């Protein structure tokens, strides 16, 4: 079915045959056009953002990479992504540190531990939660999670304050900090990481699990010998998908974080910012030049997520050599 | 083991079948004990946050189950039990915030929702001093924007999927496949920036339609992915049967392949719709928001549900605003979840049988 | 090391469906016992109850007694994990761990049990692979993945993996059904050698194979679709194939041959 319809000699071709060949050509070009359009969109995103960024970067009086402030519309336009890059990476890192192990645990729970009566509905529930809009997570984060974080933050401050990063210098401020953002992001990306990981765990051939059990492996040993090695690429790519989401999350962060232009390693102090959050907060009130500057930060974010997602897909693709009917 | 019985070295492994085992109710018992202790310590030390109570209980549960098993059953069993405990704790860790989120949204939002709320806009309402006003204009806006986005994204996505499955060979198809995957990860704010930069080039103002374009960019890859999976499930025999009758390829695709997979494709589109309905960031910069009803998505700012929530929280920023935000959030969640449930229902009802 | 298996009154269930009913038999040590019977008669299920693999399927359970010499495998304090170490198993499809080398596959069971000394492991690898008639073919590529071997070699690798933990009984669930005739022959020869040290139980759908390799043969059958499988008769292989005492056995055997 890969070949095009048999070419008929011109002489014998009746009207309907010519029509069908014409129809085939039109249809093929339409569908190929749609595919090409996708590539064009991706290229255009990069192109437009790069063009607008270039306009802004040319007039930037600060260093784009190391400047803390974001005042592109000032008398002297100065803007840099140091704070944003730091905040984006740190909050995403915290999210990953929490979400990946928990998601692997939940995936194992669904695929190997839970009684069947619980596993199915619970898997379903997790999928549904992946659809909860981020604005709702944001609202819940600031009105519910932040007040509930107080105890935990003062605890971390008390017992782990010596690590510097958990040292709270502004006591009593609401926990609208990068640490809370990280936890919220962890909760947000949990469903997607769980869903992908769970699918991979489900594909572990039963015979490999039984091989381990028949050798006298406990359930955990069976998982370690048969399930986890088989699922490792899946876990990695699922994590990177989650990471991509965490890096690009906008509105939840914009609501929860009380931002400022300070780069502080004290994760429990309010402040910091992320690429996406900064754009959402500043965009509507910026002058055209300020918007170009925001485009530059958007371009950086775009490239980062592109790399992360691309890497994730390459890892998946390496083992996805099965496909349905059309192989 | 050793050949015949000439030499009989000590066996490498222990041979006894019976081991001391904890009773079946042990994990449950330990869990109850840990929770009780967690609460006792939490209350005793006057810890304000229940997160702390929970963490203490979880840690106690893990330590006690490991210690107990190690003492009674040996190290291997203890590790096994520890792993089981960790997995259960992970499960609880996930259930608690996700359950809290759902419960809290319903609890906060249900009070705000009534007939007036659903049928009125914010026109003439002083948002910070009264509980009046509603989300009618936001519902209209969301529906129009999402509908337009779907009208753009669904055909493009479906055609791309058809290209990949039915024609896709060579470098172009590979590139498209890869970039579809990468496109799934484009942050919504970036899509917004992109459309905005085009929009300003043509000197256009805020409108619902520009928001739809950004949403379409987010939607296309999701549609392609799911439609692709569904088209692949259509057995080749069907296509070949059609070719054998002399039906041209394009007609085979339009008349046979797509109708066979239409249930799954519909599901995919609906899931994609559910995903973009909650998008806030691009709508914020492109649609801008409005307090009045604007039925025309092609000119002037509109409202949308996520944007409404955002504004009620950030702009109004008091109890009245919060109440309205929760009300809108509940409506939004109900819409998205409903769409999800229906979509999955269709998927189950009309899933093409894989293979033969 | 080989032990006698004594089964009495054993029934196995999947959820509420009874798969096999009230089976009693004795499996002699240092011999090969073959299970034959039509598909769905429960011979594989019964085999899996002998090392408590049956119960890894959700909802599956067992009633009755399986004595390994003088210990009941289903006794109250018995650890199924320990049972499986004593009663090894080889499956229908060769299933070496795909992520492990040949060497790691063989020692997988020992490593799980906490044996770590390199010298011990090296010895076991050589002995087990020799025991499985595979040593000469793979000794130069022990660190290559096990999945790279041919089907027959993979199955012998699985046998080596099973005997590396020095079990007392070896269960084989249609071990040759996925293999070509030459590999089948190699496995059959191997079974003949292994029976000097192990109690071997083999499920097969191939009656010539049962006749070739086994000392005793058990015939299973079921009364009808949806009925539980039952043991019809167990006797010396020669008797079963020449002069069975039950008519059903003769029908089955002659039907297959005819």
| Burial label, A289 (beta-carbon count in 10 A; 0-12, 13-18, 19+) | middle
Q: What is the pLDDT of residues C205-218, one digit of tens each?
A: 888 899 999 999 99
Query: Can you give the pLDDT at residue A241?
Result: 86
B226: domain CATH number is 1.10.3720.10
Res A9: pLDDT: 42
Give the closest of A115, A207, A230 to C91, CB-based: A207
Q: Residue A67 domain-assigned?
A: no
Q: Which of residues 109-168 of C touch A (CB under 8 A)?
A: 109, 112-113, 158, 161-162, 165
**What's the pLDDT score for residue A7?**
43
Token digits of residue C54: 């049956």
| Chain C residues within an 8 Å CB radius of A207 | 91, 93, 95
Looking at residue A321, its pLDDT comes to 37
pLDDT of the residue at B213: 96
User: Hey, how many other C-beta atoms are within 10 angstroms of the C-beta on B200?
Assistant: 14
CB pairs under 8 A between B and C: 51
Residue A248 maps to which CATH number? Answer: 1.10.3720.10
Structure tokens at C61: 């359970």
- Option in C56, C84, C99 nearest A215 (CB): C84
Q: Is the pLDDT of residue C166 over 50?
A: yes
Q: Which of C56, C58, C165 sits opposite A216 (nearest CB)?
A: C165
Q: Which chains touch B (3 or more CB pairs under 8 A)?
A: A, C
A215 with C112: Cβ contact below 8 A: yes
Residue B6 lies in a domain: no
Q: For residue B9, tell me if it sits in a domain.
A: no
Q: Which of A3-12, A178-187, A245-254 has the lowest mean pLDDT?
A: A3-12
Q: What is the pLDDT of residue C248?
A: 87
The Cβ of residue C67 has, within 10 Å, a number of other Cβ atoms equal to 17
B279 touches A at CB < 8 Å:
yes
Question: What ipTM was predicted for this assembly?
Answer: 0.89
pLDDT band at C236 (very low <50, low <70, confident <90, very high): very high
Residue A172 in any domain: the answer is yes
CA A111 to chain C, closest CA, distance in angstroms equals 12
d(CA B49, CA A152): 7
- Count of the separate structural domains present in chain A: 1
Count other C-beta atoms under 10 Å from residue B146's C-beta: 25
Does residue A7 sit within a domain? Answer: no
Phi, psi of B20 (to 5 degrees): -65, 130
Same domain, B174 and B277: yes
Query: Using the beta-carbon criterion (under 8 Å), do C81 and A215 form an inter-chain contact?
Result: no
The reply to whether B85 falls in a domain is yes
Closest CA in chain B for residue A220: B80
Report the candidate in B296, B297, B293, B328 with the shortest Cα–Cα distance to residue B310: B328
Domain CATH number, residue C223 = 3.40.50.300
Domain assignment present for A285: no
Q: Which residues fall within 8 angstroms of residue A109, CB to CB, at 6 or more apart?
A: A119, A122, B87, B88, B90, B91
Cα maximum dimension of chain A: 90
Structure tokens at A313: 């897909």
Q: Which residues share a beta bridge with A270?
A: A177
Residue B32 maps to a domain: yes
Range of the structural domain that residue B48 is part of = 26-110
Residue entry with tokens 């999945």: C147
Interface A–B counts its CB contacts (< 8 A) at 311
Instruction: Write the pLDDT tens digit of every residue in C69-124.
Output: 888 999 888 888 889 989 999 999 999 998 889 999 999 999 888 888 999 999 99
Q: Do B270 and B157 share a structural domain? A: yes
Answer yes or no: is pLDDT of C225 > 50.
yes
Asked whether the CA dihedral C27, C32, C33, C35 is positive or negative, the reply is positive
pLDDT of residue C23: 93
Are B143 and B103 members of one domain?
no
Q: Which residue of C has its CA nearest to A219?
A: C81
* Number of domains making up chain B: 2
Indicate the pLDDT class of residue B5, thresholds 50, 70 and 90: very low
Per-residue pLDDT tens over the stretch B237-259: 899 999 998 888 999 999 999 99
| d(CA B59, nearest CA chain C) in Å | 27
* Tens digits of residue pLDDT in B216-229: 999 999 999 999 98
Whether the predicted pLDDT of A196 surpasses 60 = yes
Three-class DSSP category at B274: helix
Q: How much is the pLDDT for B14?
A: 66
Contact A187 B336 (CB under 8 A): no
Asked whether residue A326 carries a pLDDT value surpassing 50, the answer given is no
Residue A258, in any domain of the structure: yes
Tell me if A291 is assigned to some domain.
Answer: no
Interface contact B13-C115, CB threshold 8 A: yes
Helix (H) or strand (E) holding A18: helix A15-59
pLDDT band at residue B12 using 50, 70 and 90 as cut-offs: low
B21 vs C68, C77, C113: nearest CB: C77
Tell whether B108 lies on the interface with C, counting CB pairs under 8 A: no
User: In total, how many domains does chain C have?
Assistant: 1
Are B300 and B234 members of one domain? Answer: yes
| Residues of chain B contacting residue C80, judged by C-beta atoms under 8 Å apart | none
Each residue of A140-154: pLDDT tens digit?
A: 999 999 998 888 888
pLDDT surpassing 60 at residue A257: yes
CA–CA dist B3, C189 (Å, integer)? 17
The strand ranges marked E within chain C are: 5-14, 17-27, 32-36, 60-68, 71-72, 87-90, 169-173, 199-203, 216-222, 229-236
Is residue B15 domain-resident? no
Is residue A62, in this structure, part of any structural domain at all? no
Best of C51, C108, C173, C201 to mutate (most A CBs within 10 Å, chain A)? C108
pLDDT at residue A158 tops 70: yes
Range of the domain at A190: 87-274
Residues of chain C neighbouring A116 (CB-CB closer than 8 A): 58-59
Q: Domain range for residue C219?
A: 5-257
Nearest residue of chain A to residue C170 (CA atoms): A214
Quick check: A208 and C95 CB within 8 A? yes
Taking residue B341's Cβ as centre, other Cβ atoms within 10 Å add up to 14
Instruction: Judge if pTM exceeds 0.90.
Output: no
Domain assignment of residue A260, yes or no: yes
Q: Which stretches within C94-246 are classed as H helix?
A: 102-112, 118-131, 135-138, 151-164, 181-194, 207-213, 237-242
Q: Report the side by side order of strands in the sheet with C71-72.
A: C71-72, C60-68, C5-14, C17-27, C229-236, C216-222, C32-36, C199-203, C169-173, C87-90
Other C-beta atoms lying within 10 Å of the C-beta of residue B6 = 6
CA distances from C73 to A218, B18, C51 (A): 17, 9, 8
């Amino acid at each position: 079915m890969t070949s095009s319809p048999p070419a008929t000699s011109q002489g014998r071709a009746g009207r309907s045959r010519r029509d069908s060949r014409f129809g085939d050509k039109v249809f093929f070009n339409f569908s190929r056009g749609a595919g090409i359009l996708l590539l064009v969109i991706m290229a255009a995103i990069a192109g437009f953002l790069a063009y607008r960024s270039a306009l802004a970067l040319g007039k930037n009086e600060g260093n784009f990479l190391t400047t803390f402030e974001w005042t592109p519309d000032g008398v002297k336009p100065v803007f840099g992504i140091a704070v944003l890059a730091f905040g984006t990476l740190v909050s995403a890192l915290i999210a990953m540190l929490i979400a990946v192990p928990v998601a692997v645990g939940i995936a194992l729970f669904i695929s190997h531990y839970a009684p069947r009566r619980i596993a199915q509905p619970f898997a379903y529930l997790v999928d549904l939660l992946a659809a909860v809009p981020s604005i709702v997570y944001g609202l819940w984060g600031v009105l519910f999670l932040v007040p509930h974080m107080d105890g935990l933050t003062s605890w971390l401050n008390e017992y782990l304050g010596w690590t510097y990063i958990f040292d709270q210098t502004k006591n009593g401020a609401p926990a609208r900090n990068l640490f809370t953002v990280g936890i919220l992001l962890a909760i947000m990306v949990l469903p997607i990481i769980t869903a992908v990981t769970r699918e991979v765990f489900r594909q572990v051939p039963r015979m490999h699990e039984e091989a381990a059990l028949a050798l006298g492996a406990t359930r955990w040993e069976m998982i370690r010998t048969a399930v986890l090695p088989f699922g490792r690429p899946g876990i990695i790519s699922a994590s990177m998908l989650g990471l991509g989401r965490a890096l690009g999350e906008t509105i939840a962060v914009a609501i929860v974080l009380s931002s400022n232009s300070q780069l502080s390693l004290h994760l429990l102090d309010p402040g910091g910012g992320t690429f996406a959050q900064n754009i959402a907060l500043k965009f509507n009130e910026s002058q055209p030049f300020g918007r170009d500057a925001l485009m530059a930060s958007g371009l950086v974010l775009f490239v980062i997520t592109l790399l992360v997602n691309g890497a994730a897909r390459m890892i998946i693709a390496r083992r996805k050599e099965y496909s349905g009917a059309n192989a | 083991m050793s050949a015949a019985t000439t030499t009989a070295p000590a066996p490498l492994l222990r041979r006894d079948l019976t081991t001391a085992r904890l009773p079946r109710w042990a994990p449950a018992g330990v869990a109850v004990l840990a929770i009780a202790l967690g609460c006792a310590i939490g209350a005793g030390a006057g810890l304000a946050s229940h997160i702390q109570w929970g963490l203490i209980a979880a840690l106690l549960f893990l330590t006690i189950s490991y210690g107990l098993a190690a003492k009674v059953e040996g190290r291997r069993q203890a590790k096994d039990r520890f792993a089981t405990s960790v997995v259960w704790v992970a499960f609880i860790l996930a259930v608690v915030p996700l359950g809290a989120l759902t419960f809290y949204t319903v609890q906060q939002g249900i009070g705000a929702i009534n007939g007036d709320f659903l049928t009125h806009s914010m026109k003439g309402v002083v948002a910070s001093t009264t509980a009046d006003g509603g989300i009618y204009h936001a519902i209209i806006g969301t529906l129009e924007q999402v509908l337009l986005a779907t009208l753009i994204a669904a055909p493009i996505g479906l055609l791309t999927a058809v290209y990949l499955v039915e024609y896709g060979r060579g470098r172009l198809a590979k590139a498209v496949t890869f970039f579809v995957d990468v496109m799934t990860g484009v942050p919504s704010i970036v899509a917004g920036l992109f459309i905005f930069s085009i929009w300003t080039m043509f000197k256009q103002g805020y409108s619902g339609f520009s928001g739809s374009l950004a949403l379409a960019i987010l939607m296309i890859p999701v549609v392609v992915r799911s439609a692709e999976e569904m088209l692949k499930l259509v057995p080749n025999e069907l296509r070949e049967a059609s070719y054998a009758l002399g039906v041209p390829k394009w007609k085979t695709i339009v008349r046979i392949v797509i109708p066979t997979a239409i249930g799954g494709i519909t599901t995919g589109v609906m899931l994609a719709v559910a995903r973009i309905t909650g998008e806030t960031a691009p709508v914020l910069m492109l649609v801008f928001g409005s307090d009045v009803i604007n039925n025309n998505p092609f000119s002037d700012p509109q409202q949308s549900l996520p944007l409404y929530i955002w504004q009620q929280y950030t702009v109004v920023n008091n109890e009245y605003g919060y109440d309205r935000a929760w009300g809108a959030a509940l409506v939004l969640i109900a819409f998205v979840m409903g769409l999800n449930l229906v979509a999955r229902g269709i998927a189950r009802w009309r899933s093409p049988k894989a293979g033969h | 090391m080989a032990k006698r298996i004594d089964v009495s009154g054993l029934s196995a269930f999947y959820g509420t469906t009874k798969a096999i009913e009230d089976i009693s038999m004795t499996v002699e040590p240092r011999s090969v016992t073959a299970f034959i019977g039509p598909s769905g008669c429960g011979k594989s299920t019964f085999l899996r109850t002998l090392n408590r693999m049956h119960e890894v399927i959700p909802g599956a359970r067992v009633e009755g007694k399986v004595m390994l010499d003088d210990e009941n495998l289903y006794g109250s304090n018995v650890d199924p994990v320990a049972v499986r170490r004593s009663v090894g198993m080889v499956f229908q499809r060769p299933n070496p761990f795909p992520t492990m080398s040949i060497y790691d596959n063989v020692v997988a069971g020992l490593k799980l049990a906490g044996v770590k000394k390199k010298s011990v492991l090296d010895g076991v690898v050589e002995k087990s692979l020799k025991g499985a008639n595979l040593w000469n073919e793979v000794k130069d590529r022990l660190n290559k993945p096990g999945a790279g071997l041919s089907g027959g070699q993979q199955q012998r690798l699985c046998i080596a993996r099973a005997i590396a933990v020095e079990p007392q009984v070896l269960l084989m669930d249609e071990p040759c059904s996925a293999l070509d005739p030459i590999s089948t022959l190699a496995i059959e020869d191997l079974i003949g050698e292994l029976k000097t040290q192990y109690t071997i139980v083999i499920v097969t759908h191939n009656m010539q194979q049962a006749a070739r390799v086994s000392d005793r043969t058990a015939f299973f059958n079921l009364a009808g679709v949806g009925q539980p499988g039952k043991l019809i008769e167990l006797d010396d292989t020669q008797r079963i194939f020449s002069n069975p005492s039950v008519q059903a056995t003769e029908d089955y055997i002659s039907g297959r041959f005819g």
